[in-house]
Amino acid sequence: MTLSSTDNATKGYVVVPFFATAAVFFLVFSILLVLTGSQILGHYFQPRVLAIVHTLALGWGTMIIFGAAYQLVPVIFEHSLFSPKLAFFSYFILTIGSCLLIYCFWNFRTDWMMILAGSLVCMASYIYFLIIWMTSKKHEKSFEFNLFFMFSAFWLCFTTTVGLLLAINLEHHYISKNHLDILKLHAHAGLAGWFLQLILGAGAKMIPMFVMGKSAKRKALFISVTLINTGLLMFLIHGYRNQIDYRLLICATLILAGVISWGVFIQDCLKNRLRKKIEIPIKHSLLSIGNLFAAFATLPLVLNQESGNWVTLYMVWIFLGWITGIILGMTFKTLPFIIWNIQYKNLNGRANVPMPKELYSHKLLKVQYLLFLGSLSITVIAVVFKLKWLINLSTVLWVLLSVSYLLNVLKVLTHKRKEEYGS
């Protein structure tokens, strides 16, 4: 099975806008980072930092995950996507909601506009949940993968709902609990519930597919999703009823054990793979998992710290090292297949058509990989030692990285088949 060989593949007009828009948001993030500079070392609850975090979480991470999921889920569950028009509508409102929310945070407008933005993002998450559920519900062979996708969709809805309630609270002050305490729960529901489970679920399908590996250890995936959701639920209950303290490391340990269980499945797939050479996109993805473990290692340093460089380092590992790392790699394992499907599917087997990997620039991909390593390494060093001048240097590298990524995405998106293949 490949992303392009199934009759259930989603129409290009549904998924392509997500990838294109996410690439633009990544560039926007890098520009906002340049404008913010060393302010990221301060408290996380400040307008510019909140704008940057939501640019990464919504415009970059969630945007591209929606597009990838709308392409991948029909392939995994062997069923055409439920309501492509509704899927495109979710793109429309997610884009508008993200733009408005980033603008509101940057200028700290806590009025009707922020509430409207949160409502649009919340609506997009509910639509996503409906589409994923309706597409996958009748398939029984991919039970473990279905758990990852459905739990992640649920936690996305939970996260956006809490986010909307927090946005309303900034204007009307109706929540009796400390706003920042609820904000921490909101953030980690999104990280461990939405991003982690979606990425692990998609990775458990895509990595074996692309390295041509397989594993009989599917039980490890069930254990993984069970441990992650147990740990997350314990964290939310304890965090809501009590102060954030070291007892929450027990919850983090359960979630980490879930990631390790997922890793057992992936390691077995890599061990039994037919394609021995590890390509750059897969290197990106595997490196991002290492950054996720680095984030877990940073947790004890941030539990009793409201702000400062360790909190910033934790966010760097999560948003730049892990989420950004895996997106940078998987984009060029998914988007080329989508465009190939649009341009060449009807010619498959009847003409000497290019392979999907020929649709993007391998030189740009190498540059992107090196820039990612350099940007992340310099950012980590700058944050750990509180070197403001080095942070300013790293922001320039993030701009260069986002530009190289955008150019390569545009190269894939603008690919046209030659006249010799017909129209």
Give pLDDT, residue 4. Answer: 47
The 10 Å Cβ neighbour count of residue 35 is 13
Give pLDDT, residue 209. Answer: 84
347-386 CB burial, b ≥16 within 10 A, e <16: eeeeeebeebeebbbeebbebbbebbeebbebbbebbeee
Mean pLDDT in residue range 378-388 = 96
Q: For residue range 20-47, what is the model confidence (pLDDT) as tens digits?
A: 999 999 999 999 999 998 899 888 889 9
Q: For residue range 266-279, what is the model confidence (pLDDT) as tens digits?
A: 999 988 888 777 78
Can you give the pTM of this predicted structure?
A: 0.94
pLDDT at residue 18 is higher than 70: yes
Give the residue, 127 or 145, on which the prediction is more confident. Answer: 127
Confirm if 292 and 322 have CB atoms less than 8 A apart: yes
Residue 384 C-alpha from the chain's centroid: 25
Distance of alpha carbon 326 from alpha carbon 60, whole angstroms: 12
Token reading at 414:
């603008």
Q: For residue range 331-374, what is the model confidence (pLDDT) as tens digits?
A: 998 999 999 888 887 776 666 788 889 999 999 999 999 999 99
pLDDT band at 285 (very low <50, low <70, confident <90, very high): confident
Give pLDDT, residue 5. Answer: 46
pLDDT above 90 as % of the chain? 72
Distance of alpha carbon 385 from alpha carbon 394, whole angstroms: 14
Round the average pLDDT of the chain to a whole number and report it: 92
